[in-house]
Each structure stands twice: as C-alpha cells, then as structure tokens.
Amino acid sequence: MGEPKRIGILTSGGDCAGLNAVIRAVVNRAIGDYGWEVLGIKGSTMGLLSRPPNVMPLKLHKVDSLLTQGGTILGTTNKGNPFAFPMPDGSLKDRSEEIIEGYHQLGLEALIGIGGDGSLAILRRIAQQGGIKLIGIPKTIDNDVGYTQLSIGFSTAVDIATEALDRLHFTAASHDRVMVLEVMGRDAGHIALRAGIAGGAHVILIPEIPYNLDLVCQKIRDRQNAGFHFSIVVISEAVCTEEGDTIQKLQQFGECRLGGIGQYVADSISKCTGAETRVTVLGHIQRGGRPSTIDRILASAFGIAAVDLIYHGKEDLMVAWQDSQVISVPIAEAIQDYRTVDPEDTLVKTARGLGICLGN
C-alpha cells in the first residue's frame, strides 16, 4: 500500500494550551509538504460516533492563525469512555465498534490522536481492535505521560502558576498573610514543584512527598521569627489530608474532581501559627490562554514528527521529547509508565537547597 492520502486528527481529554498549534503543524506538513487531505474529527471520539461522522476538513488557510490560540478548534471531551459509554437509561455500553465504523466510513488511512495517558490508552485500544494506524501526541498540563520529558500544555500551565505566585507575593507581603495557591496536576506534582521554585514559594507540597504539618508550621514560624510575616505556599490538588484522604468534589454527571486541599492546609496553618491565611485555587486558568513559547515549539515539533511517522509507514507510536530531541516510543510503553515526581529529582534537591519546605 502506498503512502496515505487522507488522515484524521482529533484532540482528546482535557484541553490545554498548544493543541491548536499542533493541529496547525500537522496540517502544514501533511497538506503543505505531502499533499494529503486532513480531516479534523470533532469532539474527540464523539465525532466518530455521529452519523455521518462529525468532521471538519482542515485547510492551510484555516490553521494559519492557530499558533497562539488556546483550546482546540476541534473540541474535546474527558468523559464518555467509548468502552463504557453512559447511555440515557443509565446503562453503560461498549460503543467502540461504532467508532471504528465511523473511522472507516471516512476513508482515513491513519489517525493522529492528541491526548494524555487515559485518552491515549483508549485510542490505542480502539486502534488495535479496528486496524487503525494510530500515532499519539502527548498533551497534558499534568506532564505525567511516560517516556516524554514534556507534554503539550505543561509549560504554559507552569508559567501561569508562576505568574500567580508572583502576584500573590505582593498581597502576602502587604497584608502579612500566608497565601496558599492550589494548583492542578492530578497525582503528579510537576506543576507545583516547578512553579514553586520559579515563583519563590516558601513551602511546596506535592503528592509524591508525604508532609508533616508541624514542619510546615515551623517553617512559617521561623520566617515570622526572622521578621518575614508573610509566606507563600503552593500545593498540588492531589495532596492528601494528614489522615491520608484526598479531597474531591462530585461534579455534574457523577464525576469526581480533586480540589479543596489548599483550604484544609490554610486552616491548619492559621490554627498552628496564628497567621492570617488566604487560598487561591487556580483551576482551569492553568489550561487556557495563549501557549508559552516552549509549548508553541513543542507543538510544532510534535506535529511535524507525527506526520513524518505516518509518511514512513509507522503506527502505534507516540512522539516524545527527550533531551531536546523528538523521538518516538511505543504508545503501549508510554501509557504504562505514569510519570510522577521522583523524590530524588534534581528539582526536589534544588527546592531543598533553596530552603523551601517540602513538608518532610
């Protein structure tokens, strides 16, 4: 079989900055250099469940201005696992065959799936089942996909969290307060660790390093005794209470999302130090807006590399960033290797070297 003439692309899972920049790069390479057709599949696999499949033919002029746009023009979802799809009567149905049928109806010869570990696992399962040539591109502000040092969206999220810390410093110092910033990241503390270092935090709490509240309070008291009556704490959303419970809220459609540990820690700090505390939950601000310089570059490099893999007849691979190079790794390996912060990581040592309290 010759080289593919029509490929599909979809974005899956939570949105983040840089997705549109990937779409732009894919279209530029596939249409501009190889003369292929590119169909953008709307709403992740939901677009392949529609009849006719819900797609947006992508053209060079359509993607021209996408480099700096947040979100994804294709839409996305982080709900509705096709293998256990929630039906109106409350039952769960395996709808994977419908997705495969939708894909083949479009006459696609390969698919580029941009997603995090969960989405890539689902897409791979569908691809294996349906004979779909899949190339994955890792995206997630959590930066927890294995085998890649960077995923699309992470750098922007870190920049936003760092800027939030910069801003909080002024209010903290003006009011002699302890300001607590809760950031996203699921079970990985990458955003909190990096933003905490870059934003001059005094305490960084991440899920990978169990903390002792007495030590956190001691750090704040030490600063008070040294004449610094304000402190900045950054905390990852999946940090547990001292009893070992995560704090989460039930959302619409029965889904739980992490959130609330910042308030718990702030309350504990004010009890033990007498300091006035305030909490900022940064939330989805971390996902939106213009991609950082690094995300634009990463998105461009990943998009080009993904199309080139298809050109060379490859499949079942994910592009990855290792030591300033784009490489490719089996999707199966990447999704098995959930990447959290190694407590021996050089940045953990950096934080300790700076005197930042990590809670232990």
* DSSP letters spanning 322-339: ETTEEEEEEHHHHHHS--
Task: Name the CA radius of gyration of the chain, rounded.
Answer: 22
Decide if 134 contacts 331 (C-beta within 8 A): yes
**Buried b or exposed e, range 74-93, using 16+ CB within 10 angstroms:** bbbbeebbbeebeeeeeeee
Residue nearest to ligand F6P (CB): 184
Write out the catalytic residue numbers. Answer: 142
Decide if 185 contacts 286 (C-beta within 8 A): no
In the complex with ligand F6P, the residue whose CB is nearer, 273 or 286, is: 286
DSSP annotation of 350: H
Q: Is residue 72 involved in binding ligand F6P (CB under 6 A)?
A: no
Q: Does a cis peptide bond (omega within 30 degrees of 0) precede residue 88?
A: no
In the complex with ligand F6P, the residue whose CB is nearer, 38 or 184, is: 184
Q: Closest approach of Cβ 191 to ligand F6P, in Å? A: 8
Decide if 282 contacts 185 (C-beta within 8 A): no
Q: Is residue 17 involved in binding ligand F6P (CB under 6 A)?
A: no
Q: Closest approach of Cβ 180 to ligand F6P, in Å? A: 17
Angle formed by the axes of helices 293-311 and 19-27, nearest 10°: 40
Q: Is residue 14 involved in binding ligand F6P (CB under 6 A)?
A: yes
Q: Is residue 142 involved in binding ligand F6P (CB under 6 A)?
A: yes
In the complex with ligand F6P, the residue whose CB is nearer, 106 or 341, is: 341
Give the end-to-end CA distance of the chain in Å, rounded to a whole number.
Answer: 59
Q: Is residue 185 involved in binding ligand F6P (CB under 6 A)?
A: yes
Q: Is residue 208 involved in binding ligand F6P (CB under 6 A)?
A: no
Q: Closest approach of Cβ 141 to ligand F6P, in Å? A: 5
Please list every residue from 163 through 182 that binds ligand F6P, using CB under 6 A: none
Residue 271, SS3 per DSSP: helix
Please list every residue from 226 through 285 that binds ligand F6P, using CB under 6 A: 237, 257-258
Q: Closest approach of Cβ 295 to ligand F6P, in Å? A: 15
Q: Which of 38, 141, 309, 334 binds ligand F6P (CB under 6 A)?
A: 141
Where do contacts with ligand F6P occur on this chain (CB under 6 A)?
14, 78, 116, 140-142, 184-186, 237, 257-258, 287
